[in-house]
């Protein structure tokens, strides 16, 4: 037996010396392989390419702020439609239920919490906090009902009360539902990368309920409910009260683009969408580098995607005309001098209306304008690179309004045809919501090509 044992040790040593890397060679450390051709649900693939972007069509204002030049782009995925009311409502309901469960606490609703911090399905790994079990929360019906052991009576503070309440109605106080999160600001990290006095916390932006004015990287948490009053505030002396009451919540508008959201809310949605998927991916034991990070498109990415692979086309469908061969409008906009209904919709329309462009993207012009991540600066264009160009700046509440301008693309239902052009962009302030601006998300593609096999 002793001889057999020593023979096994010698044989193992020989095999180990002959194994990969056993001779001191460089063999590399490889990450776990996974399929890289999965297109996120509801998105389309925008391939890498090179095209002319910028204004070379009509520039009626003579802005000359986006001169035409050849630009290259990496591949990315993009939502095939604008984010709908139903999709945004998933974000709102998640925050609503999260606030409710946190308000109740482990002592008030123990069945909604995991038994130990860091358990399976946890939303946080902080040892001082209990983790919410979202499988138990479900769609929140048990939370907001008094039937079958519901908790609505314990959440009275979440509703309008006293003089704020309307007799006979039990309405949630939307001001109480805010989203808090943290992100690493790559611009700050790049700026301070050689400063030995900085720490990682100096690059982290925190959106909290009570920001410290002495901490420059702390911002107010984000209110998640859309501002439905935009339908009344945007248009004086116009009867839009039904839209105020119905647009976000009525089932008839479920597949219409969400509006009344600021740039800050759109960014918060992207962060939530990323974290929401990460939690599910963690439960499925998917590697971290396989999880998508959702974000708003850059100004240039939006134009590149809108062109659909065609060079210098005037509109996403090609052009040069807004009507097709049958005389039908190809987008939802303000026709002529104010014929809003000639295109089939007085306000917004279903996000799958009209034909998609050659990438499969719907309503890249018309319906609602869309937020981009890019800061608006008329003098920035000549300084940008000719591949994946972008200019970003996150303005603080105390900053000048001119630093709060963000590029808006695509034109909307209330805009004339000029703003539907691929090359035309305008701006809006990051903290202002309107009835004609929505958004869609993108995800970067890790690689240079994609296989559908």
pLDDT > 50? residue 162? yes
Decide: 58 and 68 in contact? Cβ < 8 Å: no
User: Is residue 181 packed enough to be buried (19+ CB in 10 Å), middle (13-18) or exposed (0-12)?
Assistant: middle
Task: Name which of 98, 296, 122, 272 is nearest 182 in CA terms.
Answer: 272
Q: Give Rg (Cα) of the chain.
A: 26
Task: Name which of 209, 224, 215 is nearest 92 in CA terms.
Answer: 224
pLDDT > 60? residue 450? no
Upper half-sphere CA count for residue 138 (Cβ side, 13 Å): 9
CA distances from 156 to 143, 165, 333 (A): 12, 12, 44
Tokens of 405: 């301008």
Buried b (16+ CB within 10 A) or exposed e, 329-340: bbbbbbbeeeee
pLDDT > 70? residue 1? no
d(C-alpha 17, C-alpha 267), whole Å = 53
Decide: 422 and 316 in contact? Cβ < 8 Å: yes
In this prediction, residue 168 carries a pLDDT of: 82
pLDDT > 80? residue 73? yes
d(C-alpha 253, C-alpha 261), whole Å = 16
Give the pairing of strands 437-438 and 369-375.
parallel
Task: Name which of 411, 358, 441 is nearest 51 in CA terms.
Answer: 358
Which neighbouring-strand residues pair with 79? 43
Tokens of 356: 């998609």
pLDDT > 50? residue 36? yes
Buried b (16+ CB within 10 A) or exposed e, 252-266: ebebbbbbbbbbbbb
pLDDT tens digits for range 380-422: 877 888 899 999 988 888 899 999 999 999 999 999 988 999 9
Arithmetic mean of pLDDT, 221-243:
94
In this prediction, residue 299 carries a pLDDT of: 95
Task: Name which of 282, 300, 319, 318 is nearest 387 in CA terms.
Answer: 300
In this prediction, residue 107 carries a pLDDT of: 84
pLDDT tens digits for range 174-200: 999 999 999 998 888 888 888 888 888
Residue 408: phi and psi, rounded to 5, are: -120, 135
pLDDT tens digits for range 85-141: 999 999 999 999 999 999 998 888 888 888 765 545 445 444 456 788 888 888 888
In this prediction, residue 231 carries a pLDDT of: 96
pLDDT tens digits for range 324-356: 888 888 999 999 878 888 888 899 999 999 999
Buried b (16+ CB within 10 A) or exposed e, 14-40: eeeeeeeeeeeeeeeeeeeeeeeeeeb
Decide: 435 and 230 in contact? Cβ < 8 Å: yes
Average pLDDT, the chain: 86
**Residues of the chain with pLDDT > 90: what percent?**
48
- DSSP for 348-411? ---TT-S---TTS---SSSSSEEEEEEEP-TT-GGGS-SBS--------TTS-GGGGEEEEES-
Give the DSSP H/E element, type plus range, for residue 429: strand 425-429
Tokens of 369: 């304008």
Helix (H, G, I), strand (E, B) or coil at 333: coil
Arithmetic mean of pLDDT, 137-159:
87
In this prediction, residue 3 carries a pLDDT of: 58
- What domains does the chain contain, in order, with CATH numbers? 32-83+255-453 (3.90.1580.10), 103-176 (no CATH)
d(C-alpha 77, C-alpha 48), whole Å = 11
pLDDT tens digits for range 303-323: 999 999 998 889 999 878 888
The C-alpha torsion from 233 through 235 and 238 to 240, rounded to 10°, is: -60
Which neighbouring-strand residues pair with 295? 442
Give the DSSP H/E element, type plus range, for residue 51: strand 49-53
- DSSP for 194-219? T-TT--GGGGEEEEESS--TT-TTEE
Decide: 195 and 211 in contact? Cβ < 8 Å: no
Tokens of 170: 């039990």
Arithmetic mean of pLDDT, 348-370:
96
d(C-alpha 113, C-alpha 107), whole Å = 10
pLDDT > 60? residue 21? no
> To the nearest 5 percent, what fractions of the chain are helix, strand and coil?
30, 15, 55
Neighbours of 286 (CB within 10 A): 15
**Residues of the chain with pLDDT > 70: what percent?**
86
Tokens of 398: 């105390």
pLDDT tens digits for range 275-298: 998 887 777 777 666 678 999 999
């Amino acid at each position: 037996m002793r001889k057999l044992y020593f023979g096994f040790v010698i044989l193992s040593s020989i095999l180990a010396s002959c194994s990969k890397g056993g001779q001191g060679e460089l063999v590399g450390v490889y990450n776990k392989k996974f399929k890289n051709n999965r297109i996120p649900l509801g998105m389309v693939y925008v391939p890498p390419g090179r095209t002319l972007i910028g204004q070379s069509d009509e520039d009626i204002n003579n802005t000359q702020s986006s001169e035409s030049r050849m630009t290259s782009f990496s591949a990315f995925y993009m939502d095939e439609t604008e984010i709908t009311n139903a999709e945004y409502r998933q974000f709102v309901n998640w925050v609503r239920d999260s606030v409710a469960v946190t308000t109740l606490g482990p002592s008030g609703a123990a069945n909604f919490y995991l038994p130990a911090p860091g358990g399976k399905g946890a939303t946080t790994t902080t040892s001082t906090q209990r983790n919410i079990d979202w499988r138990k929360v479900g769609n929140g019906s048990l939370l907001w009902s008094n039937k079958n052991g519901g908790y609505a009576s314990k959440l009275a503070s979440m509703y309008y009360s006293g003089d704020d309440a309307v007799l006979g109605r039990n309405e949630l106080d939307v001001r109480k539902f805010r989203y808090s999160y943290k992100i690493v600001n790559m611009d700050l990290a790049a700026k301070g990368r050689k400063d030995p006095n900085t720490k990682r916390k100096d690059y982290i932006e925190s959106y909290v309920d009570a920001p410290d004015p002495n901490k420059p990287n702390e911002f107010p948490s984000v209110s998640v409910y859309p501002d439905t009053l935009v339908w009344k505030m945007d248009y004086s002396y116009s009867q839009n009260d039904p839209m105020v009451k119905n647009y976000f919540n009525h089932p008839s508008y479920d597949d219409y683009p969400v509006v009344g959201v600021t740039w800050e809310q759109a960014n918060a949605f992207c962060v939530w969408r990323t974290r929401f998927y990460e939690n599910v991916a963690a439960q499925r034991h998917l590697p971290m580098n396989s999880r998508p990070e959702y974000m708003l498109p850059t100004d240039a990415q939006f134009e590149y995607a809108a062109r659909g692979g065609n060079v210098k086309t005037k509109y996403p469908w090609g052009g040069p005309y807004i009507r097709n061969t049958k005389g039908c409008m190809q987008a939802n906009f303000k026709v002529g001098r104010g014929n809003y209904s000639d295109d089939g919709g007085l306000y917004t329309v279903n996000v799958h209306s009209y034909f998609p462009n050659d990438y499969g993207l719907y309503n890249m012009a018309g319906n609602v304008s869309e937020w981009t991540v890019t800061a608006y600066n008329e003098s920035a264009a000549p300084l940008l690179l000719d591949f994946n160009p972008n200019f970003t700046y996150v303005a603080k509440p105390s900053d000048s309004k001119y630093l709060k301008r963000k590029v808006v693309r695509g034109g909307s239902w209330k805009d004339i045809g000029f703003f539907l052009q691929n090359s035309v962009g305008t701006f809006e302030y990051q903290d202002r919501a309107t009835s004609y601006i929505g958004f869609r998300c993108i995800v970067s593609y890790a690689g240079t090509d994609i296989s559908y096999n």
